Structure 1
């Protein structure tokens, strides 16, 4: 696909659009409950690690399921181009339910064990993400163009609402029994018969599924994330070797699930870097606030959650209205505003680390406002660089990059929370734990700044002259006006 190839369009019938809207509502609820569970464990994984006797390995409760999340995101989204969405939803909801039951009963009525927690969280993660991936595939393939940005906005709003409830529930349940967190998404099994009636019958156009390609690419992605979690160089070597094998494979295979031309699309390559940079710190704010709340303010997880929940609600508000905002100001302005909000949140928190937790919460609200606003314009920007026939793989690749990047980020930032490498000094003159948290927040702001610089440098190339909707046209007009 060349830089200037037009994005393919397709006609969506009123019936397809109606059924898509109904299915998206159920999928969004499923995704919200699954993400609620994920965010809850993100907040209290250190407490769980201490309780099960493995405090030094507690980060694995978050990092390993995050790795699985990135891989299944890619597989589910990509399979949307090849197999029935009904088969995907059956597999996903059943796996989610099994993970819920396993995690609760094993860890509640038997001796809690780190690996039982991790296995249950992996099953839950692998299951719940089917809802998120199918949601994005349905929104991309079966919604009218003017509804897509709105439902992308609702998707990130749902994510932030679930995060808000998740941190609050985790703080509450951690004082009772954290095992109850496992049960939260189990009710979604009742949606299965309704979704089977609403989802389209057709799969993709391919005659077979390229499982060899999926396995090679998935293993390569897993070893990349594991390297950043364990710092074992042999894992990086294996990762590089697998990606090399994958490159050879897709050039020689008769019908690979993704062709070399996909990766030669320079518009897509420039756009996907936005996700790499903007979502690197996606999982970092909650554990940093939980750690500094306990270390500097003598607050337990329950108390921290009562503050940070407001930040997620702000993100939900901005996510819900992001479609309207993008329609008014265009994706270029929305991405710039979102990145500025994120940087202000990080930098403000870094400077005010020793002031008042309420002030820190206010800056966290600014950061999450940026997160809520960012998702819709960035995702629609990336997907618009691909044809409709490639949209499932585009969704899968977006999710893979977003989650693997975030898992690498939490592995790197999380490893520093209890360390001394950043404790000897900071821009605010602090030392010790305060310096660690302040420095981490400054570093996170720099990552977001790198994303903004990248976008400003490559935005003309990313949007090009081939986008097919009015929002993209507004972006092109903005670019021309700015450069003039």
Structure 2
């Protein structure tokens, strides 16, 4: 019987990858279309950016909530509901694209549905696939996620230029075709006794929302409210009978280090990737379509190879080996960009292949070691918290890089081989991001300095 269930889960992996691709694609696909939306409605760019902010808010909240309630209500039912919500939000956006408030509502609903996908996929792998094969599964899914993130601006720019930006809402509706396959392949799970810690959930959700608003608007009172809510959340989970997040998770080194290092590294790369379009346009005078199709796309294609290889290496050589390889790829790519920021764009494109490859390795390792630190009953809330932490870190990385680009505090010569004045800022900022990668890698290696055995068992 167990073998039959595992075979059914394995057959559904391809559909999990399809779903993961379209869920993360929707995070970035609207980026290049925001100027077109602002022009159509006659609004300021800051207002148009709410198209992405509304999605990010509900997505960040949902990643934490879905993982927890999967422990109670089961994965199959939640997958069915979340895909319907995702498709419904997309349909609203497609039909009412001429009314800006409807666009905001549609993006918020999309985020509420799409946020279930990353967390529930990790829960499926954690619960249903043997530990010796989890690295390969996480590698496949991680490759798909990274490909979706990188392919979003390319596809979004093409559709906006040659058709119309409103048709971007049609893409997520393709996820509805996965429903029959999940209903047939995913096993039924009994509803467990117990309930959702509603006060704890509300404190956590509102804390996330306030913190996300702070990273978007830089209003300090958002941060103060967020801190107060998180203090209340900590007090709540320490006293609740069935807390929203088990306090025991924060006593495990593997879990804490995995979440911390994952946040540092993924946030750093996300910030770097948000810088690339500005650098290529200002330093190399490249168009948006050329940046997406020629500079970013080769790296996103390489992600497929690196993700599969990384997953297999985790299973064969161990997580420590793959993490070191990923750190070396990330470091080499960032160093090349910093040294040759004003050289030919194709050097930058080659460096991005290394960076995307290192990102695939890192994601696979982080998912594997965190999953290995969780029991079956903790997999939902634990993996949900990992997804939330990494997603929030990516948002913070983008916000921090955007602030540094605006303030111009790093706009001075450091490296003698960078001679173009326009490239100073980008070269120096990349050096700063390289330092963040070194710090994240050092935390990981120090925490697991005992060697491979202590990390993988």
Deviation at 1:90, TM superposition (A): 2.5
Listed one character per residue, the Cα deviations across residues 255-279 of structure 1 (whole Å, up to 9, x for unaligned) are: 2232322223344222321112111
Distance 1:350 1:118, change over 3 A: farther
* TM-score, length-scaled by structure 2: 0.91
Separation (CA, whole Å) in 2 of partners of 1:444 and 1:173? 32
Deviation at 1:33, TM superposition (A): 1.8
* TM-score, length-scaled by structure 1: 0.86
1:396 aligns with 2:384: yes
Report SS of the residue matched to 1:283: helix
1:378-417 alignment, distance < 5 Å: 378-417=366-405
Aligned match of 1:121: 107
The counterpart of 1:159, out of the listed 135, 145, 168, is 145
Distance 1:321 1:279, change over 3 A: same
1:306 aligns with 2:327: no
Distance 1:144 1:179, change over 3 A: same
- Contact kept? 2:255, 2:369, Cα under 8 Å: no
Separation (CA, whole Å) in 1 of partners of 2:274 and 2:246? 39
Separation (CA, whole Å) in 2 of partners of 1:59 and 1:413? 17
- Contact kept? 2:133, 2:315, Cα under 8 Å: no
1:23-42 alignment, distance < 5 Å: 23-42=12-31
Separation (CA, whole Å) in 2 of partners of 1:460 and 1:440? 30
Report SS of the residue matched to 2:267: coil
Aligned match of 2:74: 84
Separation (CA, whole Å) in 1 of partners of 2:197 and 2:121? 22
Separation (CA, whole Å) in 2 of partners of 1:256 and 1:187? 36
Aligned match of 2:259: 272
Aligned match of 1:175: 161
Aligned match of 1:252: 239
Deviation at 1:433, TM superposition (A): 4.3
Aligned match of 2:89: 99
Listed one character per residue, the Cα deviations across residues 431-475 of structure 1 (whole Å, up to 9, x for unaligned) are: 76422322322222111111111011101479885x7xxxx15xx
> How many residues matched?
453
Structure 2 residue runs without a partner (length 5+): none
Aligned match of 2:333: 345
The counterpart of 1:192, out of the listed 179, 188, 192, is 179
Listed one character per residue, the Cα deviations across residues 248-303 of structure 1 (whole Å, up to 9, x for unaligned) are: 11222222232322223344222321112111124334432222222222222111
Which moved further from structure 2: 226-235 or 303-312? 226-235
Separation (CA, whole Å) in 2 of partners of 1:356 and 1:43? 23
Distance 1:106 1:439, change over 3 A: farther
Which moved further from structure 2: 427-436 or 191-200? 427-436
Separation (CA, whole Å) in 1 of partners of 2:102 and 2:427? 34
Distance 1:257 1:345, change over 3 A: same
Which moved further from structure 2: 167-176 or 180-189? 167-176
Deviation at 1:390, TM superposition (A): 0.9
1:232 aligns with 2:205: no
Separation (CA, whole Å) in 2 of partners of 1:438 and 1:57? 31
Higher helix share: 2
Separation (CA, whole Å) in 2 of partners of 1:160 and 1:345? 16
CA RMSD between the two structures: 2.5
Distance 1:263 1:240, change over 3 A: same
1:369 aligns with 2:357: yes
Aligned match of 1:335: 323
Separation (CA, whole Å) in 2 of partners of 1:258 and 1:464? 29
The counterpart of 1:210, out of the listed 193, 197, 200, is 197
Aligned match of 1:443: 432
Separation (CA, whole Å) in 2 of partners of 1:203 and 1:408? 38
Aligned match of 1:291: 278
1:419-430 alignment, distance < 5 Å: 419-427=407-415
Deviation at 1:93, TM superposition (A): 1.0
Deviation at 1:344, TM superposition (A): 1.6
Deviation at 1:164, TM superposition (A): 4.2
Separation (CA, whole Å) in 2 of partners of 1:281 and 1:379? 17
1:75 aligns with 2:65: yes
- Contact kept? 1:43, 1:287, Cα under 8 Å: no
Distance 1:279 1:49, change over 3 A: farther
Separation (CA, whole Å) in 2 of partners of 1:49 and 1:27? 34
Separation (CA, whole Å) in 1 of partners of 2:332 and 2:154? 24
Aligned match of 1:148: 134
Distance 1:172 1:97, change over 3 A: same
Deviation at 1:349, TM superposition (A): 1.0
Deviation at 1:116, TM superposition (A): 4.7
Separation (CA, whole Å) in 2 of partners of 1:195 and 1:368? 30
